[in-house]
C-alpha cells in the first residue's frame, strides 16, 4: 500500500515550482521552523515496540478568513512517524499528489486556482536529517505526481506536511464540506493537536463523540478573531474491519463551518447555525429542525403533466394513485431526459434538451422532489408526513449536528403507509437508503400551508427474505470432459437489486420500456426536421450498439472474476425483467458461457468435480477476523438462494453427495444446503441469510459458524464414477 493524498479527505496536493515560493517558505517555517516543539520527538514507549509504525506527532489546522468578498480557506496536516517494520517502509515509500487545482467553492471559482504545498524529510537513526526536494524529484505520471522515497530503513522517522490554500469569492451563505472522522487511525498516535482559526461571519458546528476530547477556545487579543484547539495523547490504533461503523463505536469528532455575511444570509442558510459566531454549536433540538424546514418544504411545482396522465384513469384507493404518480413522475421528470443526456455527452446534438420544450421540469434533488410530490398530494387531499432522518453510520437523530447529513423522504399516510424519496432511474416505491432502516426519525406535518408540527417516529426494517439474490445455475460437461458450459439465471429484489440494475441496465434496456408503458415520445420522435431525425437516429443507434458491446465485454470479465476463471468463451447476456416497478419485483437476467481448465480434475477413469465452487466466493475469515472485538453493523438483512443443476453424463454415477447437505442456523443467520439426484441430474439447493442489520459482538461467534459453513461448502467435491 502506498500513500495517496488523493484519498485523504483534507487535501489534494501539488508541486508549485522548482524554486520555493514565499508561501512554501512560510509553510516550511510554520511546521519545521524554530518554534517546532516536536523536532526532537524520536522516542516511543515499550508499549509501542511491536507496532508497525507509531505517529509521534499529528497536527491538523483549519483556517477560515475573509477580506471583503474574498474568502480564504486553508487546511493543513503534519505527521511525524517512526517506521518499525518492512510493511511501514512499503507504506511510506511512495507519495502521490495532484497539481494546483481550481476551487469549486463560491462565485467565479473557475478563475481561482488553489495552491498545495508538500514538505517531506527523513530523520535517520543516527539523527541525520534528509529533506526531500519535492519540486525537483517528483515525476508526473498521467496527470498525477509521484515521489519515491528511497533508502528507508526500519527505525527511520518520516516527517511530512501538506498545506492547501483555497481562495474564492462569496457574497452569499456558503457551507464548507463537513469533516467527520475518528480521533485515531491505523497506527497509534502519541500526540495529536487540531487547531481552528475563524473570524466574524464564520459559524462553527463542532462536537466530539464516544469519549473524544472537547474542542476548547484559546484566548486571543483580537475581538473578531477566534482560535480553538482539540488535543489528545496516546491514542490507540483503530481497526476498521468489515461491517463496522467507526463513527458510532470509537472516539470521533464532526464539524462544519458555515459562512454568512449578514443576518439575511444567516436566515437563508440551509444549516443549523449557532446564534452567534463566537458560540460553538454542539447539538440540534427538534424545534430547530422544525424552524429550519417549516417553510422550505412548502408544496410547490407544476403538476399539469401528472394531471393529464390521470385523466380517464380510475384507482381503487389512494395507495394505487400514489404509486402510479410516483412511477409516472420518475419517467416524466427523469428517465425521458436520459437519451438527451447520452446524446449531449456524445456530442450528437447541440443542446438536445431544447427539444423538450421551453421550460421542462427536471427534478434533480431530494428537496425539489419533496416540494413537487407534496404538491400532487395536496391537490389530491392525501395526508403525508415529511421524514427527517440520519443514516445509521452517522449516529442517531438525537446527535444531529450537520444539515448535509439529513436525509429527507415522504411518508404517505395511506391505509398501508407508503414511503417515497427522490427517484433515480430504477428506484421503487417504499425504497429508501437501507442505512435509514430502523432509525428514529423526525416526522414533520402541516395543518395548513406551513409545516407546524414535529414528532418522533421510527422507520421499518426490511427482512432477509425481502432482500434476495436468487440464482439458478445449470452446469454441463463437454462430451470429452475437457470443458464445461454454465448457464445462470440471476434474480434480485429489495435492496440487493439496485446496484445490479445500475451495473447492468443501460439506456436501451429501460428508457424504451418507459416510453412504451406511458406512450410518450422518444428523443428522436421529438425532432421535427426529417434530416435531423434521420441523422440523430442513426448516430444514437450506433452509440447504443457501441455501449452494448462494451457492456458485454464488461460482464464477461465480471463472470470470469466471480467464478475465478480465465478466457471464457461464447459469453451471452440477456435482460429478462428490469424489476423497476416494485421493490418486491425481481430484476432478472440470464448469462451463459463456456470454459476449460476449471471445476474438473481427472482421477484415473473417474473425474473429481469441484461442485461447491458454483456458489462462488464466500467469506474466508482469518485469525484476526475471528477474534473480532467490534460490534457488527451491516447495511440490511439479506438472503442468497442457489439452485445448482448438474447434468450427469451418460454412463456415470455420482458419489459424495452426502457432504453437500449442511445445516448451520441460529438467531443471526444460516447456511443450509441440500442435495438430491433426480432424472439423472444432481440438484443442489443452498440458502445463506443474514437475519439482522446489526449484531452485538457477543453474537459474532454465531455468525462465524454459518459463515464458515458457507465457505467450507465451496471446497466440497463430488466423484463422477464410470459405471
Q: Looking at the structure, do residues 491 and 390 belong to the same domain, yes or no?
A: no
Tell me: the pLDDT tens digits for 390-404? 999 999 999 999 999
Tell which wins on pLDDT, 140 or 148: 148
Q: Please name every residue paired with 410 in a beta bridge, in sequence order, or none if there are none.
A: 386, 420
The C-alpha cell at 466 is 425481502
Q: In whole angstroms, give the CA distance from residue 87 to residue 13.
A: 24
Q: Looking at the structure, do residues 451 and 469 belong to the same domain, yes or no?
A: no
pLDDT of residue 68: 78
Q: Which helix (H) or strand (E) holds 339?
A: helix 338-345
Residue 265 pLDDT class (50, 70, 90 cuts): low
Per the structure, the complete domain to which residue 124 belongs is given by 1-43+81-160
Q: Looking at the structure, do residues 444 and 478 belong to the same domain, yes or no?
A: no
Residue 306 pLDDT class (50, 70, 90 cuts): confident
Residues 6+ apart with CB under 8 A from 525: none
Total tally of structural domains belonging to the chain: 3
What letter does residue 107 receive in the DSSP assignment? B
Of the chain, the end-to-end C-alpha distance in Å amounts to: 53
Q: In whole angstroms, give the CA distance from residue 690 to residue 633.
A: 12
Residue 10 pLDDT class (50, 70, 90 cuts): very low
Which of 125, 160, 195 lies at the terminal end of a domain, its last residue?
160
CB distance 681 to 675 below 8 Å: no
Helix (H, G, I), strand (E, B) or coil at 538: helix
Q: Looking at the structure, do residues 604 and 709 belong to the same domain, yes or no?
A: yes
Of residues 110, 200, 125, 182, the one with CA closest to residue 158: 125
Q: Looking at the structure, do residues 520 and 429 belong to the same domain, yes or no?
A: no
Asked if residue 679 belongs to a domain, the reply is yes
CA angle 346, 342, 528 (to 5 degrees): 90
Tell me: the pLDDT tens digits for 685-701? 999 999 999 999 999 99
Across the range 576-590, mean pLDDT stands at 97
Asked if residue 237 belongs to a domain, the reply is no
Q: Looking at the structure, do residues 502 and 618 belong to the same domain, yes or no?
A: yes
- Tell me, yes or no, if the pTM score tops 0.95: no
Supply φ then ψ for residue 29, to 5 degrees: -70, -35
Q: Looking at the structure, do residues 568 and 666 belong to the same domain, yes or no?
A: yes
Asked if residue 519 belongs to a domain, the reply is yes
Q: Looking at the structure, do residues 439 and 520 belong to the same domain, yes or no?
A: no
Q: Which helix (H) or strand (E) holds 655?
A: strand 652-655
pLDDT of residue 269: 81
Q: Looking at the structure, do residues 572 and 698 belong to the same domain, yes or no?
A: yes
Query: Which whole-number Å values give the CA distances from 341 to 217, 348, 350, 354, 507, in the listed order?
Result: 50, 10, 11, 12, 10
Q: Looking at the structure, do residues 478 and 422 belong to the same domain, yes or no?
A: no
Query: Which whole-number Å values give the CA distances from 132 to 116, 121, 123, in the listed order?
Result: 16, 6, 11
Say if residue 5's pLDDT is above 50.
no
Output the DSSP codes for 483-511.
Answer: EEEEEEEEEEEGGGHHHHHHHH--HHHHH
Q: Looking at the structure, do residues 457 and 499 belong to the same domain, yes or no?
A: no
Which of 160, 179, 205 lies at the terminal end of a domain, its last residue?
160
- Residue 298, classified by CB atoms within 10 Å of its CB into exposed (0-12), middle (13-18) or buried (19+), is middle
Q: Looking at the structure, do residues 557 and 611 belong to the same domain, yes or no?
A: yes
Residues 6+ apart with CB under 8 A from 662: 671, 672, 673, 709, 712, 713
Asked if residue 664 belongs to a domain, the reply is yes
Helix (H, G, I), strand (E, B) or coil at 170: coil
Asked if residue 299 belongs to a domain, the reply is no
Asked if residue 483 belongs to a domain, the reply is yes
Query: Which whole-number Å values give the CA distances from 250 to 210, 238, 254, 436, 521, in the listed order?
Result: 6, 8, 13, 21, 54
Asked if residue 56 belongs to a domain, the reply is no
**Positive/negative CA dihedral, 82, 86, 89, 90:** negative
Asked if residue 25 belongs to a domain, the reply is yes
Which of 137, 160, 183 lies at the terminal end of a domain, its last residue?
160
Residue 267 pLDDT class (50, 70, 90 cuts): low
Tell me: the pLDDT tens digits for 362-390? 888 888 999 999 999 999 999 999 999 99
Q: Which residue has the cell 437508503?
A: 433
Amino acid at each position: 500500500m502506498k500513500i495517496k493524498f488523493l484519498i485523504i479527505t483534507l487535501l489534494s496536493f501539488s508541486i508549485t515550482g522548482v524554486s520555493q515560493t514565499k508561501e512554501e517558505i512560510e509553510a516550511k517555517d510554520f511546521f519545521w521552523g524554530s518554534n517546532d516543539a516536536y523536532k526532537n520527538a524520536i522516542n516511543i514507549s515499550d508499549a509501542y515496540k511491536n507496532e508497525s509504525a507509531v505517529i509521534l506527532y499529528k497536527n491538523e489546522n483549519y483556517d477560515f478568513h475573509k477580506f471583503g468578498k474574498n474568502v480564504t480557506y486553508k487546511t493543513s496536516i503534519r505527521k511525524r512517524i517512526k517506521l518499525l517494520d518492512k510493511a511501514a517502509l512499503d507504506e511510506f515509500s511512495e507519495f502521490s499528489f495532484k497539481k494546483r487545482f481550481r476551487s469549486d467553492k463560491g462565485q467565479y471559482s473557475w478563475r481561482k486556482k488553489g495552491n498545495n504545498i508538500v514538505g517531506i524529510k527523513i530523520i535517520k537513526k543516527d539523527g541525520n536529517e534528509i529533506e526531500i526536494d519535492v519540486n525537483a524529484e517528483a515525476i508526473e505520471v498521467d496527470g498525477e505526481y509521484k515521489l519515491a522515497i528511497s533508502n528507508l530503513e526500519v527505525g527511520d522517522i518520516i516527517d511530512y506536511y501538506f498545506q492547501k490554500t483555497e481562495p474564492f469569492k462569496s457574497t452569499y451563505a456558503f457551507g464548507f464540506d463537513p469533516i467527520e472522522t475518528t480521533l485515531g487511525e491505523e497506527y497509534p498516535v502519541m500526540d495529536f493537536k487540531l487547531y481552528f482559526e475563524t473570524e466574524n461571519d464564520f459559524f462553527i458546528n463542532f462536537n466530539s463523540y464516544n469519549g473524544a476530547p472537547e474542542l476548547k477556545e484559546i484566548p486571543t487579543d483580537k475581538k473578531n478573531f477566534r482560535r480553538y484547539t482539540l488535543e489528545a495523547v496516546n491514542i490507540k490504533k483503530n481497526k476498521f474491519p468489515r461491517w463496522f461503523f467507526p463513527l458510532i463505536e470509537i472516539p470521533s469528532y464532526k464539524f462544519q463551518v458555515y459562512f454568512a455575511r449578514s443576518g439575511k444570509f444567516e436566515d437563508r442558510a440551509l444549516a443549523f447555525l449557532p446564534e452567534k459566531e463566537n458560540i460553538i454549536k454542539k447539538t440540534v433540538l427538534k424545534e430547530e429542525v422544525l424552524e429550519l424546514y417549516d417553510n422550505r418544504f412548502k408544496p410547490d411545482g407544476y403538476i399539469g403533466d401528472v394531471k393529464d396522465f390521470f385523466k380517464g384513469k380510475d384507482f381503487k384507493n389512494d395507495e394505487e394513485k400514489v404509486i402510479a404518480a410516483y412511477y409516472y413522475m420518475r419517467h416524466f421528470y427523469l428517465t425521458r431526459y436520459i437519451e438527451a443526456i447520452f446524446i449531449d455527452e456524445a456530442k450528437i446534438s447541440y443542446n438536445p434538451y431544447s427539444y423538450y420544450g421551453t421550460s421542462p421540469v427536471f427534478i434533480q434533488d431530494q428537496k425539489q422532489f419533496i416540494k413537487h410530490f407534496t404538491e400532487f398530494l395536496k391537490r389530491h387531499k392525501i395526508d403525508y408526513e415529511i421524514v427527517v432522518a440520519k443514516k445509521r453510520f452517522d449516529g442517531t437523530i438525537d446527535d444531529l449536528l450537520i444539515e448535509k447529513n439529513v436525509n429527507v423522504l415522504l411518508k404517505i399516510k395511506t391505509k398501508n403507509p407508503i414511503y417515497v424519496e427522490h427517484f433515480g432511474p430504477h428506484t421503487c416505491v417504499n425504497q429508501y437508503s437501507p442505512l435509514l432502516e430502523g432509525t428514529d426519525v423526525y416526522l414533520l406535518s402541516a395543518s395548513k400551508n406551513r409545516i407546524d408540527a414535529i414528532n418522533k417516529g421510527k422507520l421499518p426494517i426490511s427482512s432477509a427474505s425481502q432482500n434476495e439474490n436468487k440464482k439458478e445455475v445449470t452446469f454441463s460437461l463437454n462430451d470429452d470432459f475437457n470443458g464445461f458450459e454454465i448457464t445462470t439465471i440471476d434474480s434480485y429484489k429489495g435492496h440487493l437489486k439496485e446496484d445490479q440494475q445500475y451495473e447492468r441496465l443501460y439506456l436501451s434496456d429501460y428508457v424504451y420500456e418507459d416510453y412504451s408503458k406511458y406512450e410518450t415520445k422518444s428523443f428522436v420522435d421529438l425532432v421535427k426536421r426529417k434530416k435531423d431525425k434521420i441523422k440523430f437516429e442513426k448516430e444514437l443507434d450506433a452509440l447504443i450498439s457501441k455501449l452494448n458491446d462494451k457492456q458485454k465485454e464488461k460482464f464477461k470479465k465480471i463472470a470470469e472474476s466471480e467464478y475465478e476463471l480465465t478466457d471464457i468463451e461464447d459469453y451471452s447476456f440477456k435482460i429478462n425483467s428490469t424489476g423497476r416497478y416494485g421493490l418486491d419485483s425481481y430484476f432478472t437476467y440470464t448469462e451463459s458461457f463456456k470454459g476449460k481448465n476449471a471445476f474438473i480434475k481427472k482421477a484415473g477413469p473417474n473425474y473429481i468435480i469441484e461442485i461447491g465452487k458454483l456458489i462462488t466466493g464466500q467469506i474466508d475469515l482469518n485469525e484476526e477476523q475471528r477474534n473480532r472485538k467490534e460490534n457488527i453493523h451491516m447495511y440490511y438483512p439479506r438472503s442468497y438462494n442457489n439452485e445448482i443443476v448438474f447434468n450427469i453424463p451418460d454412463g456415470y454415477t455420482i458419489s459424495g453427495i452426502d457432504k453437500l447437505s449442511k445445516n448451520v442456523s441460529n438467531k443471526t443467520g444460516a447456511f443450509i444446503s441440500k442435495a438430491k439426484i433426480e432424472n439423472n441430474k444432481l440438484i443442489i439447493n443452498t440458502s445463506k441469510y443474514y437475519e439482522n442489520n446489526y449484531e452485538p459482538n457477543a453474537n459474532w461467534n454465531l455468525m462465524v459458524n454459518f459463515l464458515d459453513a458457507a465457505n467450507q461448502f465451496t471446497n466440497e467435491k463430488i466423484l463422477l464414477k464410470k459405471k
